[in-house]
Structure 1
């Protein structure tokens, strides 16, 4: 049926009329027609809408004429929405580049109906301002697979002018789902969006980011959707192909010569598939949290059992020592009694300790086993500059420190009380740094997470979207939870150090000879700083994983450098207590290292020149530090430096160790295009290298390793190996675009809750805790050895 309606046209001359033709149209029929400025065609459609079944309606338009004077305007009028678009459709890209599309396909939004079934009408109006006749084709069809089914893959095609979207309804008992969109084609670049059921649907490149959640994608895209965010218990999955590929890391198109020049977009059709699967339920969350807590509480239990065994062993050893002393005293008493009987004297009490004879001066009193000097000295706070009370002028330092074979006693000449307070400054400084560093970090990541939740922009944060489990406002709770090990094991290490500190102080109070004159001098300030740094690494790594990206990457690495630096200082301080760096100098150097790491993040991405300069500075700094360690700080830069360098090494062992360290450091400079990996490998490599060097020297010096230390070494080495394997899996990387980063995303591999990077968190926290225990126990075998018998390396 046709209706002819004369209408006044406001765009032409006054009184000009336009013929309007209305046609009853049908689905799946192609209409070929012509439109001019003098006529307008209206196509009337009707279809039955059921509350229990949703069918999509797709409008497809082709313009057959070339060199159009004016575009054709198509207006689709529905009950609760109006959709309009022009053909050719002009889509804009970067720098306002214009891409025309003569073939346009749009899906009509389907507002919900309250009735069980009703007939709805919609109209397609076709008009133009061109005086020339323009040929077009119009086809309206039903989309049978408009509603997605759970765990069922659906394949479709999309292009910039033919976006696609589908509806999904939450089934009963499912509160969270993950929407996965995949393609075998890297390009063209696409956008997937999750939008509420409302009209209009934003399904073009220039408006898809207006509402809902969205992310760019090449081959993979995944968004976790929760029922609580959608009151209608349903949502649209929208897939849009972008007009350009720069957002996904593709090449930049040429710049047009004229601002109004139209660029041929070429074939940008992409084949994709979408699947919606239920996400994990609350039981998996509980299981994941219990698993995490169980792992690290087991270390507390194991430590308690080892402490009980050590305490029992020490009690038995103490009883044996007392029995031995008592036997010696009784033997001495019996001998004295026989001497007195033979001399006609009264027998002495068996508990009276005396001399063997009138000329003998040997006493076997138990008090003779201890040094008789008081340790109740004042520990009042003074400035660190006042700590160095030893009168060792430069000539004395040169004489002592340049000996070919140094012993610990040569470098442990300063007052122990003074040194202890010097090393306590490390702990108080790092505690202060931690407070002032953590507060703004926490505030910033809360802001990041808020921006992600409000804007819906999933490209801000580099998650592993295939294994990112939300909880509350957090988008990836599992990545945050897995950092709990750093905090718990750091606290456990502090408790272990505190116990050792108390035991050592009690030994000093009772003037124990071993505590006073034997073994490596015990100073616990650096150990306290290491434990605090490990806890802060967990806190800041969790903050980083709230929204991981290149702007906050230093949150995750700063305390890694702190831990590596403190471990190196502690390893050196063990046998060089008098000449170790002050806390202020050490933290200043670590601040410089962190500064360069930040520069690497900001300016190093793909910048070869920067990494060359960085590598040169790194190598020179390593050489300078090696020279300082080789000469024990007693070297000078003058005209004789070349002669000394060519005269051959004076300290062979020390030189071999430093050469090994330099080789490892220089090898890290061979990875110029893996910025994030390289910045993490620097501190991790140092943590591996230091114990290895130390134990090689211990074995060469003939020192034995106690069973507990050996167990810690083997356990830590194995855990570090597995940890590095999971570290190199690379589930995401901010060195690439968000879409390219998602190509590395993988599913969870542990309890359907944790991914490879979470396992790296577990294992690396355990490995660092083991490394700390190695440093703490590695010299326990020397506790009964005089310090002038312990060699310095």
Structure 2
């Protein structure tokens, strides 16, 4: 009985085992491990019940990198049941699905049936012995019906990039590429140069450390390393110190759409719903890695920059020394003449009688002589107040002066003596306000700018996103944390020449003060009234232009363009104010009104960049403001400040035009000024119409062009009128004028080379990048910095020395124009 029960239990257990085995077999996919070979095509079909595994093995050799690339294809286009490919290697797993799907900026899904991926290779260290490597590829799908697939695995023979050897290849969104590069001995920095004949499709070039996995798909390529977008050109400078192993991967990923590179979605690429048809987006690329410059080039470039601008200091010292020798020689000859004629002069001078105020009657005061020559009679007495004036509202010390100036300024022919009635010290204080105000503006403007650009540079270094900054990447030499040291270094000229100009102005100012302290009447009564406040302001503005331009070039982009242009507007405006102040010292604009106008200009520049590209209404409003402002300012200039700029100015203009041009056609009272203002208004109206019709993309440069053209027009008018008035140009201002014209012409040539443009996408901007042209360190824009600083320095010298020939001319003989 017991044996029977045992037999029955054994039979039941056996049948239970058979049932469980059958059930397990029915719910498990049959797996067929297939040995495979490199370079051989394999095809098959799979479904939810069938899974296939391919086994590859190879021998790795010391010092050799074995890179494998897997090519797969499937006829399935069903995202619900994709074919899954899983590659298992010794140190990692790589998987993807077919169809491979990408989601673009326009929220469309792009699918691809052909996929190829490079497997992360094992990088030998040179000491690893020969070893056997295994790799398995699992192919599976949950599709209810059979799905066909194709598979081939190849060993790459051109996986390692060689120095100065170009490599040509193709890539697509589903078939990214990456290659290995090893730094040669003695090379600490290289430049990866990439180019393509096709503008699109958009590409991302990434440089990553040799770790697995390699991020080589559109959705993860930005997770690691340094990267930038590309259309036709790309260049990335890589330093050895950033890669401890001395090796890196260069990854090329094709974007599924071109928005990131400034393109739009093609009409042929639009499908129904959220999916697109499977279009080939293949880009043919050439990559070359070349050694970058070494430390000696940095040193030579820096020394060249310093030497170039120190030459100006040497030239200024030589001019000062020669001028000092001539002055000493002239003083010596004058003293000899005085000694020879001492008895005659003493006998001809009666006894001098002075009033308590210091006036002399019936005599020639010896203090009114200069260098042995008597001063010509002064046509009118001057009144100098001894009280100090602290505010601009207290400028006029004579109550009747405000009523008299309308009579004086309405004269047909005006002279400098008519417009230099106010107290000299009061006017000097008025122009010193320009200097102290620009110091304040510079401090409050520069500090947040420096903080912001440091943040920009930190973000670039941390994220590796080189699309943030618009460099000329083919000539951007990093140093420390700075990505383009050469663009920053080239702005040193503005600082050095600005400081030199301040020294020159200080020397003239001290010399003039010494003459005033000695009661030299020639300094008090002859020549153009000398006020140096605006000159000091121009020197500070030139220095700040260099500082802020350097800050802008730390990371030039759409958000900080105004750093590079703000002080350029101010420099142009200050030069025009100085030129006008030369012969209109009493009626020039106040510092507060001038800086308020500069602020309005900078505000318009920001609005123009933000809204001026596609909004026609902005251009209409700006053109109206431009034309109306030109008319109002022209009227103010024509009537020597007697027409105040307020809301009633246009009514007064209409009344005068009606009276002078309609009721009676009379000749303009101030013909020269009328010609200048007509030409100036025609040019400004042309600018307004041009902007309204063409709407230039670079609004900042367009606005700067308006300022520069008006400044050049006024300077040309001033020089022509000076020559018409039988005045002459001394050798020094003549040399400065010629140098200014020549240097500005050369500078503008390099300015218009356009090596980058933040009005476009970063990839489109890089199409304009070019190689360095000076010492392999400076590009065209750096030369623009050198030449523009030099040209502005010479321009300032023109304004400083233009009227030196009038130092011995009475002010009632110097015409106003």
Match of residue 198 from structure 2: 185
Measured in 2, the distance between the counterparts of 1:187 and 1:120 equals 39
Match of residue 684 from structure 2: 665
Match of residue 120 from structure 2: 109
Contact 1:668 1:681 in 2 (8 A): no
Query: Of 219, 230, 233, which residue of structure 1 is paired with 2:246?
Result: 233
Query: Of 119, 131, 148, which residue of structure 1 is paired with 2:161?
Result: 148
Match of residue 298 from structure 2: 285
Q: 1:700 to 1:65 in 2, by over 3 A?
A: same
Measured in 2, the distance between the counterparts of 1:42 and 1:210 equals 31
Task: Please state how far the C-alpha of 1:179 moved relative to its aligned partner.
Answer: 0.3
Query: Of 46, 63, 68, which residue of structure 1 is paired with 2:74?
Result: 63
Q: 1:381 to 1:169 in 2, by over 3 A?
A: farther
Query: Of 159, 169, 193, which residue of structure 1 is paired with 2:172?
Result: 159
Match of residue 33 from structure 1: 44
Match of residue 5 from structure 1: none
Match of residue 409 from structure 2: 401
Q: 1:246 to 1:645 in 2, by over 3 A?
A: farther
Match of residue 88 from structure 1: 99
Match of residue 651 from structure 1: 670
Query: Of 750, 756, 762, which residue of structure 1 is paired with 2:780?
Result: 756
Contact 1:163 1:240 in 2 (8 A): yes
Query: Of 212, 219, 236, which residue of structure 2 is paired with 1:206?
Result: 219
The TM-score with structure 2 as length reference comes to: 0.89
Deviates more, 1:600-609 or 1:40-49: 600-609
Task: Please state how far the C-alpha of 1:631 moved relative to its aligned partner.
Answer: 1.1
Match of residue 413 from structure 1: 421
Q: 1:517 to 1:368 in 2, by over 3 A?
A: closer
Task: Please state how far the C-alpha of 1:531 moved relative to its aligned partner.
Answer: 0.4
Match of residue 809 from structure 2: 785
Q: 1:189 to 1:16 in 2, by over 3 A?
A: same
Deviates more, 1:59-68 or 1:127-136: 59-68
Contact 1:51 1:112 in 2 (8 A): no
Q: 1:486 to 1:379 in 2, by over 3 A?
A: farther
Contact 1:21 1:39 in 2 (8 A): no
Contact 1:374 1:511 in 2 (8 A): no
> In structure 2, the residue corresponding to 1:275 is in which secondary structure?
strand
Match of residue 792 from structure 2: 768
Query: Of 63, 77, 81, which residue of structure 1 is paired with 2:88?
Result: 77
Task: Please state how far the C-alpha of 1:543 moved relative to its aligned partner.
Answer: 0.4
Measured in 2, the distance between the counterparts of 1:752 and 1:75 equals 48
Contact 1:605 1:735 in 2 (8 A): no
Query: Of 381, 387, 390, which residue of structure 2 is paired with 1:382?
Result: 390
Task: Please state how far the C-alpha of 1:258 moved relative to its aligned partner.
Answer: 7.0
> In structure 2, the residue corresponding to 1:614 is in which secondary structure?
helix
Structural mapping, 1:255-334, within 5 Å: 261-332=274-345
Task: Check if 1:567 corresponds to 2:575.
Answer: yes
Match of residue 696 from structure 1: 720
Task: Please state how far the C-alpha of 1:15 moved relative to its aligned partner.
Answer: 6.7
Match of residue 536 from structure 1: 544
Contact 1:64 1:137 in 2 (8 A): no
Q: 1:375 to 1:604 in 2, by over 3 A?
A: same
Task: Check if 1:460 corresponds to 2:468.
Answer: yes
TM-superposition CA deviations, 1:535-560 (whole Å, max 9, x none): 00000000000000111000011101
Task: Check if 1:736 corresponds to 2:760.
Answer: yes
Task: Please state how far the C-alpha of 1:314 moved relative to its aligned partner.
Answer: 0.8
> In structure 1, the residue corresponding to 2:223 is in which secondary structure?
coil
Measured in 2, the distance between the counterparts of 1:484 and 1:464 equals 19
Task: Check if 1:21 corresponds to 2:32.
Answer: yes
Contact 2:218 2:255 in 1 (8 A): yes
> In structure 1, the residue corresponding to 2:190 is in which secondary structure?
strand
Task: Please state how far the C-alpha of 1:668 moved relative to its aligned partner.
Answer: 3.5
Task: Please state how far the C-alpha of 1:138 moved relative to its aligned partner.
Answer: 0.2
Match of residue 172 from structure 1: 185
Contact 2:470 2:756 in 1 (8 A): yes
> In structure 2, the residue corresponding to 1:266 is in which secondary structure?
coil
Number of matched residues? 761
Gaps of 5+ in 2: 1-22, 353-360, 644-648
Task: Please state how far the C-alpha of 1:692 moved relative to its aligned partner.
Answer: 1.8
> In structure 1, the residue corresponding to 2:277 is in which secondary structure?
coil
TM-superposition CA deviations, 1:602-651 (whole Å, max 9, x none): 11134333223222211221121111101112235346233146244221
Measured in 1, the distance between the counterparts of 2:169 and 2:108 equals 28
> In structure 1, the residue corresponding to 2:466 is in which secondary structure?
coil
Match of residue 681 from structure 1: 705
> In structure 2, the residue corresponding to 1:758 is in which secondary structure?
helix
Match of residue 722 from structure 1: 746
Contact 1:111 1:199 in 2 (8 A): no
Task: Please state how far the C-alpha of 1:279 moved relative to its aligned partner.
Answer: 0.6
Match of residue 735 from structure 2: 711
Task: Check if 1:595 corresponds to 2:600.
Answer: no
The TM-score with structure 1 as length reference comes to: 0.92
Contact 2:230 2:763 in 1 (8 A): yes
Match of residue 109 from structure 2: 98
